[in-house]
Chain A
């Protein structure tokens, strides 16, 4: 394999990872943008997605069913949690949200452990994408191409949703001035419930998609929550485009960093974050410094 071939396959690898990171980060950043809440349970919803994907595939025999059921169930749980608990806390200071969502992490994590057990579970790839293509005479999994493609499609959908739909308009308006939106007769609470559910659903979507690569396991949540925070910090709190940019940057730094500097594999992502924080403390596309 020549250098060009190497470059192309590694870039594709990076884009497939960027897609997974994007699903994880964008939900967290949307929730933060609207609600000013740091959702500590985000990684747990990602993990829930992986396990729901396993069960959906087991029951229906179709990966695509998992891709629908996982985000829907996680989104419903997220919405119910917002309506039942978070809504009562908006008058409190931000540490209350951190405590409550951290509590949700523990409760949901334990429910997952009791429901699915401690063993890692295999989630097979969808049969349409379980093959390989030859790129520069080297086999490359089509599932990774699918991931990269799904990332692009989802980014377009979310972008169009935020820019073109009425709900998207309300979300952007609420993130800028919730009181004014409320004064104009919009039920801001409903927008918040909706966006919390959508954010959790996106995390679960990432979890279902990641499961064939890493299996559904209890280690998914702690690993994911750190990645999600890094994405949001690099991209800028509350910035949709920022989370997209950050996901791509982090994925490239990880893939090429692992290759050229394997001894610093773990540090690469944090060094990038450090660099961004020094140059732009509010994140690459964040508004607040």
Chain B
């Protein structure tokens, strides 16, 4: 009797365990079915880590918003993020892992253009869509364009164009350039030089500093000696911080108007008043006053107790475009998402946007800002001094330069 009961108990326990494990598998399957994974191969360490952190934060914020409203086509968004340290080879490897290990078919949040350029040739093989959040290199929607790449953000040439249009109307006549010695720096400098020529202004020359340059004293000397009355800067991250801090220490701004493709508030926080007087393009500014942006800024402030920064706004727009594309497609099928994104129109935090079909570039407005202290403010901020419409800012299809 005792023996019998023992067997029974064991059988029951075994059955219960089997049932439990089956149920847990069932639950796991059900969860897997309700999740869509988005891959973020993002540099959160290295010289571009600060920008990467902004972009990642914007993705997390957007995913949280979408998930709170029931998710994407009923599926909860799960972000799969890996640090690339800004190294293109690492980025390709991490993205490949996401595709093979996690089944990721949607990628965004890659920080550097050379990382993006390394990833795009693999997209067809991976059957994945890559929506750029900040990649500036003109070639991504030009000679290096692939069908599965989309760029809702302002490109490098577009940022430079806004500044160039401002330059045309200014009294400045002689220009010099300082850029980072990699794809983005050279590309943007070429565009600016071309713009100077068309505006009938003199471009005296440019110098390029290696990524990670710490001492800018010689570059500052070169700028000073060039005799230019303005210097166009294509710098980002820690290099930009170091240059602005040192330029201020040499009082370079007293003699030369500093212009930049992008005014990044993160630099302003790191360098304080050093950036005062700097004029440049802005991909996104929280002070842009339209209902869509005001709602975004309010929600962001509720979450993070501060206003969103430039790359947070630009990456957020890209996330919204990806979301709208998937909802329009009504499917997670790569071909259907691609078709839906082509020609997609919406109003985002930066105003009206159209993802044109011919080269997958988002047509949008351009902003020019000047860094200064608003009355009563203790910190310097980028303040809009000019807005240009999309048709003046976006280049012709697959082009990096402008006809006029």
Contact = CB atoms under 8 A, between A and B. Distances in A.
Interface of A: 1, 6, 9-10, 13, 16-17, 113, 118-122, 124-125, 130, 132, 138-141, 143-144, 210, 212-215, 217-219, 222-223, 254-256, 258-259, 262-263, 265-266
B250 A140 contact: yes
A223 B241 CA distance: 15
A214 B250 contact: no
A265 B271 CA distance: 25
A213 B250 contact: no
A258 B214 contact: no
Contacts of B269: 119, 122
Contacts of B249: 125, 130, 132, 141, 143-144, 213
Closest 6 CB pairs of A and B: A120-B270, A141-B249, A13-B217, A258-B218, A266-B210, A214-B242
13 contacts: A6-B221, A118-B52, A118-B53, A120-B238, A120-B266, A122-B270, A141-B246, A141-B250, A214-B214, A215-B242, A217-B238, A256-B218, A258-B209
B251 A121 contact: no
Contacts of B271: 122, 215
A218 B218 contact: no
Interface string B201-241: 00000011110111101110110110000000000011001
Contacts of A256: 218
Contact of A214 (B207, B210, B241, B266): B241
Nearest to A117: B53
Contacts of B46: 218-219, 222
Nearest to B213: A265
A123 to B, nearest CB: 9
Contacts of A17: 215, 217
A20 B208 CA distance: 23
A13 B266 CA distance: 27
Contact of B47 (A13, A113, A219): A219
Contacts of B213: 265
Nearest to B269: A119
B326 interface: no
A69 B254 CA distance: 35
B263 to A, nearest CB: 16
Given A118-B49, A119-B50, A122-B271, A9 B221 contact: yes
A263 B210 CA distance: 9
A198 B222 CA distance: 39
A215 B214 contact: no
Contact of B272 (A124, A217, A262): A124
A218 B245 contact: no
A118 B44 contact: yes
B45 interface: yes
Contacts of B214: 210, 213-214, 223
A265 B209 CA distance: 7
Nearest to B240: A120
A218 B44 CA distance: 10
B215 A118 contact: no
Contacts of A258: 209, 218-219
Contacts of A213: 214-215, 242, 245-246, 249
Contacts of B50: 118-120, 217
A122 B272 CA distance: 7
A275 to B, nearest CB: 20
B268 to A, nearest CB: 10
A121 B272 CA distance: 10
